[in-house]
Amino acid sequence: MYHIVIPIDKEGTRSAAAVQFVADLCDESGLGVDSEELSVTVVNVFKEFKAVDDGGNVRSEDLYDESEFPDSVERIREQFAEAGIEADLVRRHGDPGDEIAEYAEEVDADTIVIPGRKRSPVGKAVFGSVTQDVILNADRPVTIV
C-alpha cells in the first residue's frame, strides 16, 4: 500500500493540483501505482489559539470539532472520487506544521503532498510557514505541487 498524506487548509487553494498529481501517479507514465494499492488521507488542522476579550477567554479547544470539516476538505474528497480515488479525511488540532508531520509519521505515510500557493517566479523560492515547517519537521519525502 502506497500512502499519501495531503494537508488542506480551510481555503483549499490549489487542491485540484494535488488531485491531479496523485491521479498522475496512478497513470502508467507516472509511478504506475495501482489505485487499488493507493491510500490517500486528506488532513485538515484546526489551528490552536487563545483569545481574550471582554467576555473572557476563548480557546481553540472550545471550538474544535474533529468531525466538522471545512467545505474545502469535502470538495477535495469529491475531486478524488471523480478521479476514481478514495480519500479518507482526518481532522487534527494544534500547530499545523507539527500536526501534519506527526500524522504522517503515525500512519507511516510514504509521502506528503502539499498544494502550494500561486506565487510569482521569485516567490516560488519561498514557501509559506506551514509548508516550510512540514519540510523541516517531516521524516519522509514532501512534494509541493
123 has a pLDDT exceeding 90: no
Q: Record the cell numbers describing residue 13, joined without a space.
A: 487553494
- Separation of alpha carbons 78 and 56, rounded Å: 39
Vertex 103: Cα angle to 34 and 112 (nearest 5): 45
Decide: helix, strand or coil at residue 86. Answer: coil
C-alpha cell at 10: 480551510
**Helix segments in 32-95, DSSP class H:** 60-63, 71-82
Say how many domains are in the chain: 1
Each residue of 29-57: pLDDT tens digit?
Answer: 556 667 778 999 999 999 988 887 777 78
The answer on pLDDT for 126 being more than 90 is: no
What pLDDT score was predicted for residue 57? 82
CATH of the domain at 38: 3.40.50.620
DSSP 88-122: EEEEEEE-HHHHHHHHHHHTT-SEEEEPPPP--TT
Structure-model confidence comparison of residues 97 and 121, the more confident one? 97
Say what the pTM is: 0.87
Name the residue among 133, 129, 92, 95 with its Cα closest to residue 112.
Answer: 133
Nearest to 22 by CA among 88, 91, 80: 80
Structural domain span for residue 63: 2-144
Contact in structure between 44 and 69 (CB atoms under 8 Å): yes
- Strands 38-47 and 87-94 turn out to be parallel
Q: What percent of the chain has pLDDT over 70?
A: 89
Across the range 105-129, mean pLDDT stands at: 78
Q: Is the pLDDT confidence value at 27 over 60? A: yes
Q: What residues contact residue 66 under an 8 Å CB cut-off, 6+ apart? A: 91, 92, 93
